[in-house]
Chains A and B, each alone.
Chain A
Amino acid sequence: MFKYVLKRLVLMLCVFFIIISMCFILVKLLPNEPPAAQPGTDTYRIIMMRREALGYNKPLIEQYWRFITHTLLGGNWGLSEKMYIGREVWDVFLTKLPPTMLVNIYTMLIAVPIGLLFGIYAALKKNKWQDHLISTGVMIFISVPGYVYCFLIQYILCHQLIRWTGGWGFPLTMMSGNDYFSWEMFVSIIPPILALGMGTIAGLARYTRAELCEVLTQEYMLLARTKGLTRGQATVRHALRNSMVPIFPMILGEFIGIIGGSLIVEQTFGIPGVGPLYLESINTRDYNFYLLMNSFYTLIGLASGIIVDLSYGFVDPRIRMGER
């Protein structure tokens, strides 16, 4: 297994290097954004001088070498030239990561148990009205795009609730400050938690139900009951555990997604997170920001693939990877 992991890590680094190199070259081949000033004016010249100083006009191979040595190996991601002018892109990214993580962690902590419970309950009540009710809800929340119920949640909880109650409603946006574990902060992020959690709950419930339904019909479940176990004991000890083999990596994947923000939800609920950064960095051609975001999420994506693969072995000791 050690060889397997080592091999995967080396391959991961190779893939990372190839992806990043391709992205660097492709993004640098794009024409530069026209300066927001009239050609021939002093302002225009200053912008061009800054670009020159930042190395925009250097040969691509020289820029690439600088990127490898100074950025990837040296950790200097440079200054933002468009989105957060004059700031270190790495500092901005780190500043904006905690709010995203906070909302996503709360979402996972709430959505995963609820999703599992709905899935288990629906499986146990298979083809009864409870199952139909949960399955219908699951279908709705999976089918409807997330931004739709994002706006609906804001409209109901933050706009209308205050009118219905005559004065109390959820805050329109996330509270400011870094008092992340206060009650006020928690209340202010309930709407985005709900907006983000609906999809996770629905997805997990559907998956759990399907897996559990299959396991519950296995012969060893009948054996377990004939041994004298109660239905609850048989379900928890045997059925649920076996059904977790495909579900656990899914949950793990959701947790890894904690550091990835949601563009719509963050904009709607005023979360100063990382959600809009990736898209904006491409739109504004903020090269340093784009390269940081691309590198970070590529690395996280590749690493999570390895972790998920390894997790199978932990969940089910019978599974061995890379061994003959």
Chain B
Amino acid sequence: MKRILSLTLALIMVLSCVAVLASCVDDTPETTTTTTPSTEQKPVECPGHVDADGDFLCDTPGCMTPVKKAGNYTYNTYMTEFPSMWNPHDYETATEGEILGYTTLGFYTFDYNEDRTGFVVVPEMATQMPVDVTAEYVGDVWGIDEEETARAWKISIRDDIYWENGDHITAYDFVESAKRLLDPTAINHRADSLYSGDMKIVGAKEYFYGGRSVTAQGNSAFSSYSEDLDSVLVFRLAPASPETDNQEIYFRGWYGFPASYDAAKTAAYLEGGDLAGTAFTAAVAAKMEGKTLAEIKADPEMKAAWDALNNWFAGYGANPLYLTLNKATYEVTTWDTVGLLAVSEYELVIIIEDELSGFYLNYSLTGDFGLVHIPTYDACAGVDDNGIYKNTYGTSVENFMSYGPYKLNYFELDKKIELVTNPMWYGYSDASRAGQYMTTRIVYDCYELPETAMEAFLQGKLDSKGLDSDYITQYTGSERIYYTDGASTWFIALNPNESAFANWEKDNAGYDKSIITIKEFRMALSFSLDRQNFINTLDPTGSIAYGLFNNMICSNPDLGVMYREEEAAKDALLAFWGISQDQIGPGKWFATKDDAIESITGYNLEGAKNLFNQAYDKAVEAGIYNGTDKILINIGTPNNTSKFYSRGYTFLVNCWTEAVQGTKLQGLLEFTNDSTLGDAFSDALKANTVDMLFGVGWSGSQLNPYGLIGAYTEDDYRYDAAWNTSAEYMDFVADNGTTYRASVLDWSYSLGGETIEVQVVGEDGKVTGDVEDYSCGTNANRPEERIRLLAAIEKRVLEQYDMIPTHNQSSASLLGYQVEYGNQEYVYGLGRGGLQYMTYNYTDEAWDAYVAEQGGVLAY
């Protein structure tokens, strides 16, 4: 009996396992296919025309008749990792946004100019460019004054936009979608697309944050300190904590306190160090921790301690905002306070917080605007039994709707994505688009290994393939190779923090880092870097970088002018690299400025050796270096598995070890590598746990260098946290001939449109005592002055030698024989034409035959 029972028990266990596994086999929710919508929904017979390629195009807007193409043209591509979700409200990465690139559209879009040498922004889902209706919305409701313009814009949308299932899209769908995007319970990743960046919709942030408390650094929450803020500024010395929104006070990074220093340890350190003998003690600091400045100032003991700390910190040019956090609680608001209105079925009004017009307004409206198919979206939304909101929109074919040129036809997680022509898209019945969108099907496969992807390309299974450095060498002579410059510039970043270095040296006898704070030392590091050799070794497709911005950064998108083509930008570069204007001109060293710039190599070994000697002398004279200690530079990298970082570290060590030969620093320079930083490399440099990073930079903002400059001047972004840009002053001659003085930080704020206070500088170079308001944003309408100011800030940042430019991003790829780009030249916003302009040399059937004819493997 016992045996039977035990056998039964064992059998049940085995059967349970089998049942679970069997259920797994049946449960395949991802691998589903939809069919083309039934032609019963709309008339089958419809008027149309045949375009130059022999394709039949229906002229009836929203017609369900499948587009008849002359053949099947499949664009085969791949990804190394697949998206699991492409919800327009929640996607985060470019991979997750890949499907949306074919299935959604913006109000406006980029298109080629007439000769295809540049871009223009044209209406896509809109029927015309935005119309300024600010005057109609003046009043307290939207916070618009009578004299204001460019705060409210009306967008008229097409009346023939349909979802792939035939549902009509109107202005109300945009409003309802935005309401769901900003739903406070959903906490969508992309909610900030409606309240941050250039286009901030009035009331959107308040609606989203309604009822929540948000903590921010004092200097992030407020641009300047006044005693009115004392009641909302909280003093803190403790490191970041989850309870306070992970916000770190600026002071900790500035001083170089490691994370292990809690409030008590930090206070004790200050008490025994720079603040010894003052009213600031660890005991009082403990009382102050977490209290508002108003509470602190009300207590004599705490006020005295605060004054001691603040006075000492003010000596470095810093202000109380750097020692505090701000916690604000947003009130719950209703949707009617959000400035997004559907004023009719096909008219949408967007009311924004700051004036915005021209290119940047249109550019802000090129995205998908979070439009979702409301019935499907709502059906996918829910709250699980942990009370957590979830939404499965954009996770399968059934849970997603397209309104763009292509629709999702098949999705298999981590395996295959297939998109096919969406017959409901209005563009297919638009005669002006004849010859575009020749591709009838797009297939994504998953190849995790580059070697497998390369073999798939050679076997004709992929139509293009990006190349890494090893393959570039192999295919450099191919007629099908394309090189593409990117917008990013990469740097060697340093954060010369005197106090942090001094602290480190106390615990590491015989070693020194303080010499890094000597500018000549950093200059020597830059001049001794053979940049051409650097890119040959590490990034063969790249080009040498000489400034903060490269040739792909556009300073005037309206006219398509690139920043480096501007005279002021050229002058800044020449001045920084030591080429005098006297050397340029007919019969002189350089005929033109371009010739002069072309001569720059950034490499001057002899000059570098002199600078190393000067740095040595200065450091010894200043008493921060004894002349015999080893100088240890800890170079941080995210990992050591990437060839770029492993080879790069070796290159830099060899380069600088060689450069100090024959100088006073010979044999004194040592290097270590911390290759464990991962994504935290930036924080590591700011906290001075490493001394240098390389291969760092910023991407994005290709059309807005005026905003991008903030990455080098603003505390939230700068790698060199020790450089106090608010205390670093710079003179600038405005178009009116007056010389003004302000901090580097303020100047960069003024480029963003903020009004700053500037001091007037007299002919003797001293401030006169007069103070004026100054702003140089888009609306100031002084484009040339704006360029000059940007160039002046760029030069000033470069002269700090904390960010040493090394190379510009570039990439290379092979294009298969089946397809051709629409445009040979790369143009911002359109690339080489993408699928919109891509043409095919073979139909799918002819391509298969061609590949077979070649023996299954193609030669490139």
Contact = CB atoms under 8 A, between A and B. Distances in A.
B392 A55 contact: no
A43 B192 contact: yes
Contact of B92 (A48, A53, A66, A85): A85
A26 interface: no
A172 B459 contact: yes
A46 B386 contact: no
A281 to B, nearest CB: 13
Contact of A46 (B25, B187, B242, B243): B187
A86 B31 contact: no
A228 B31 CA distance: 60
B10 interface: yes
B448 A267 contact: yes
B452 interface: yes
Contacts of A94: 23-24, 27
B187 A53 contact: yes
Interface string A86-104: 1110011011111001000
Nearest to A35: B246
A165 B857 CA distance: 11
Interface residues of A, number: 79
A36 interface: yes
Contacts of A115: none
Interface string B342-362: 000000000000000000000
B52 interface: no
Given A34-B679, A83-B84, A268-B452, A40 B412 contact: no
A107 B412 CA distance: 23
Given A98-B24, A268-B449, A40 B187 contact: no
A86 B389 contact: no
Contacts of A79: 384, 388, 390
B242 A57 contact: yes
Interface string A142-181: 0000000000001000110011011111001110111010
Contacts of B30: 95
A76 B683 contact: no
B89 to A, nearest CB: 10
Contacts of B9: 2, 5-6, 9
Contacts of B389: 53
Contacts of A33: 679
B205 to A, nearest CB: 8
Interface centre among A57, A162, A169, A173 (most CB of B within 10 A): A173
A56 B455 contact: no
Interface string B27-53: 111110000000000000000000000
A98 B716 contact: no
Contacts of B27: 94-95
Contacts of A300: 17
Contacts of B245: 45, 48
Interface string A21-57: 0000000000011111011111111111111011111
A38 B683 CA distance: 10
A167 B855 contact: yes
Contact of B452 (A36, A41, A44, A154): A154
Nearest to A78: B386
B384 A5 contact: no
A2 B2 contact: yes
Contacts of B386: 55, 66, 70, 76, 78
A176 B410 CA distance: 10
Contacts of B24: 94, 97-98, 101
Interface string A1-30: 111111001000000000000000000000
Given A86-B390, A95-B30, A159-B455, A40 B385 contact: no
B298 interface: no
A267 B81 CA distance: 11
B857 A162 contact: yes
Contact of A259 (B21, B452, B855): B21
A27 B128 CA distance: 55
Interface stretch (A210-218, A241-249, A303-311): A303-311
A42 B195 contact: yes
Interface centre among A39, A53, A54, A56 (most CB of B within 10 A): A39
Contacts, number: 194
Given A162-B856, A167-B856, A303-B13, A85 B90 contact: yes
A84 interface: yes
Contacts of B191: 46
A80 interface: yes
Interface in B154-196: 187-189, 191-192, 195-196
B498 interface: no
A270 interface: yes
A165 B856 CA distance: 9
Given A46-B189, A85-B84, A91-B29, A53 B388 contact: yes
A268 B453 CA distance: 10
Contacts of B195: 42
B3 interface: yes
Contacts of A158: 455
B852 interface: yes
Interface stretch (B108-116, B212-220, B488-496, B535-543): B212-220
Interface stretch (B413-421, B602-610, B662-670, B768-776): B413-421
Interface in B410-466: 412-416, 445-449, 452, 455-456, 459, 461
Given A46-B191, A169-B856, A172-B452, A95 B716 contact: no
A97 B31 CA distance: 13
B391 interface: yes
B412 A267 contact: no
B447 A86 contact: no
A176 B855 contact: no
B223 interface: no
Interface centre among B189, B386, B446 (most CB of A within 10 A): B386
A301 interface: no
Nearest to B414: A272
Interface in B370-389: 384-386, 388-389
Contacts of B413: 84, 92, 95-96, 272
Contacts of A95: 27-31, 413
Given A38-B716, A86-B85, A158-B455, A96 B414 contact: yes
A92 B413 CA distance: 8
B509 interface: no
Nearest to B16: A303
Nearest to B200: A42
Contacts of A173: 445-447, 452
B412 A177 contact: yes
Nearest to B31: A178
A167 B857 CA distance: 7
Contacts of A163: 855-857
A76 B10 contact: no
B471 interface: no
Interface string A59-93: 00000001000100010101110011111100110
25 contacts: A34-B680, A34-B683, A36-B92, A36-B679, A39-B248, A42-B195, A43-B196, A53-B388, A54-B388, A84-B84, A85-B84, A85-B92, A86-B391, A86-B392, A94-B23, A95-B29, A95-B30, A98-B24, A154-B452, A159-B455, A162-B855, A178-B31, A180-B25, A259-B21, A303-B17
Given A85-B92, A154-B452, 19 more contacts: A2-B3, A2-B6, A2-B9, A40-B220, A41-B196, A42-B196, A43-B196, A44-B246, A46-B189, A46-B191, A70-B386, A79-B388, A95-B413, A101-B24, A165-B856, A166-B856, A177-B31, A259-B21, A307-B13
Interface of B: 2-3, 5-6, 9-10, 13-14, 17, 21, 23-25, 27-31, 84-85, 87, 90, 92, 96, 187-189, 191-192, 195-196, 205, 212, 214, 216-217, 220, 240, 242-243, 245-248, 384-386, 388-392, 395, 412-416, 445-449, 452, 455-456, 459, 461, 679-680, 683, 716-717, 852, 855-857
A-B pairs with lowest CB-CB distance, top 6: A84-B84, A42-B192, A176-B416, A272-B414, A167-B856, A1-B6
